[in-house]
Amino acid sequence: MEADPEPRWLEPDERETWMSLAALLMRLPGALDAQLQRDAALTHFEYLVLSGLSMAPERTMRMSDLAVAAEGSLPRLSQVVSRLEKRGWVRRFPDPADGRVTLAVLTDEGYAKVVAAAPGHVEAVRQLVFDPLTKPQRRQLREIARRIMGAVDPGGHCPPSA
Amino acid sequence: MEADPEPRWLEPDERETWMSLAALLMRLPGALDAQLQRDAALTHFEYLVLSGLSMAPERTMRMSDLAVAAEGSLPRLSQVVSRLEKRGWVRRFPDPADGRVTLAVLTDEGYAKVVAAAPGHVEAVRQLVFDPLTKPQRRQLREIARRIMGAVDPGGHCPPSA
DNA sequence: GACATTCTGTTGCAGCGTGAAGTGAATTCG
DNA sequence: CGAATTCACTTCACGCTGCAACAGAATGTC
């Protein structure tokens, strides 16, 4: 419990890197949420859910799969889908093939909503993330994010390099 | 409102980059919080506050400056400091020189707490962020994070390259 | 010197997320 | 078969965060 007088501290430049990344983790989600909230009255997570459904075959997904696709927990998804259902953008019904499973479908209104919200969101992502970077940096960022995700979620579905 | 039939969509590889980064934004904070919560019963933001104070002269800071240093809002900081005060790690008193200002001081117990929590946290940052990356990637990450922060917070204190 | 404005920090309220318990369906095993 | 376990999802209680309204202190203006 006290055997390491000097653990592996960060080098000064690593410390700077980490501070910048920490700042990014604190601020970027808020900035993204702000744009979606202002222009579409949508949370980033809500957007991910609608967007995920819109790209699925039949615009339908099992709740569990949708939770994984949106990088969120199942309870969180359950509540968010409840909200989206109240707003008429998603409907839920039990899977005929397995009574335990709930299937979520994007309604036409929901699809229209994603289509309306997407350009503004994409534009925000561009402005905040891609525009400030050089081409090589954009390429590096993909690899960097994948590798970090590999460490965060070892059983994940983001192959480090493939 | 509907003049752009084709806004600047993301290229396929940009889309992949963004999905990986989005996943990182969703998961990395949780992973960091989990370690601190488990090993030190501390939020990442609480840790940033204590850590910020521990590095300040006299281990003392104005609330506003502390909020900026920890990348959080003032109301958020106010409540967090209240909690930390109840736990005996921070004390608050009005600035004698300006009655509007509140000064926050790290107590000896608070300092001991940071010192105890730091190695585990640093180790987690290493494992999750730095270990998976190559040296050039670590260098790139600093520049990438700075540039994105420059776009997120134009008035920020993170010069793009200096 | 008195009033309005600005600055600093706190408080109240509403919304969101997490983790634990609860419900009901399907599977496994005796 | 029937009971226990596992699985998919929902619900509940709690804590945290952001925003807006608020209170107190300092500054500027006439």
B42-69 pLDDT, tens digit per residue, is 999 999 999 999 999 999 999 999 999 9
> What's the confidence (pLDDT) of residue A161?
45
> Is residue B118 predicted with pLDDT exceeding 60?
yes
Strand D-proximal residues of B, range 46-85, CB below 7 A, are: 72-73, 75-76, 79-80, 83
More confident residue, A1 or B98: B98
* CA neighbor of A48 nearest in space, from A66, A26, A70: A70
Write down the pLDDT at residue B162: 40
Taking alpha carbons only, the member of A99, A95, A10, A130 closest to residue B129 is: A10
Chain-centroid distance, C-alpha B121: 13
Distance from CA of A87 to the nearest CA of B (A): 23
Q: Which positions of chain A have pLDDT values less than 50?
A: 160-162
Domains of chain B, by residue range, sit at 30-152
- At B3-27, the pLDDT tens digits run 555 677 888 999 999 999 999 999 9
For the domain spanning A30-149, the CATH number is 1.10.10.10
Cβ atoms within 10 Å of A128's Cβ, excluding its own: 20
Which residues sit opposite B92 in a β-bridge? Answer: B104
CA distance B55 to chain A (A): 13
What is the C-alpha to C-alpha distance for residues A128 and A132, in angstroms, rounded to an integer?
Answer: 7
CA atoms within 13 A on the CB side of B7: 17
List strands edge to edge, sheet with B90-95.
Answer: B60-62, B98-106, B90-95
Quick one: pLDDT at residue B160?
46
Tokens representing B147 are 């540039």
Chain B interface, best mutation among A2, A6, A15, A20, by max B CB count within 10 A: A20
Helix axes B108-125, B44-55, angle to 10 degrees: 120
CA distances from B34 to B31, B39, B82 (A): 5, 8, 22
Tell me, what amino acid is at B20? S
Q: Which of A126, A152, A160 sits opposite B27 (nearest CB)?
A: A152
- Cβ proximity of B144 and B136 under 8 Å: no
Cβ contact, residue pair A127, B151, below 8 Å: yes
Nearest CB among B10, B20, B152 relative to A145 is that of: B20
Mean pLDDT of B132-155: 93
Query: What is the CA B74 to C1' D20 distance in angstroms?
Result: 13
Which ranges in chain B belong to alpha helices (H)? 12-40, 44-55, 63-69, 74-86, 108-125, 135-152
**What is the Cα–Cα distance from B113 to B36, expressed in whole angstroms?**
12
Selecting from A22, A158, A160 the residue whose C-beta is nearest the C-beta of B23 gives: A158
In degrees rounded to 5, what are phi and psi of residue A157? -115, 30
- Could you tell me which CATH class the domain B30-152 is placed in? mainly alpha
Tokens in use for B111? 């300092």
Nucleotide nearest to B44 (CA to C1'): D16
Q: What token pair was written down for B85? A: 């005060």
Q: Which pLDDT score is estimated for B161?
A: 44
Nearest to B149 by CA among B71, B50, B55: B71
For residues A71 and A77, give the distance between their C-alpha atoms in angstroms, rounded to a whole number: 10
pLDDT above 60 (res B89): yes
Question: What does the pLDDT look like over B63-83, one tens digit per residue?
Answer: 999 999 999 999 999 999 999
The answer to whether strand D lies under 7 Å from the CB of residue A62 is yes
- In this prediction, residue B129 has a pLDDT band, given cuts at 50, 70 and 90, of very high
What Rg, from alpha-carbon coordinates, does chain B have?
19
What is the DSSP-derived secondary structure letter of residue A103? E
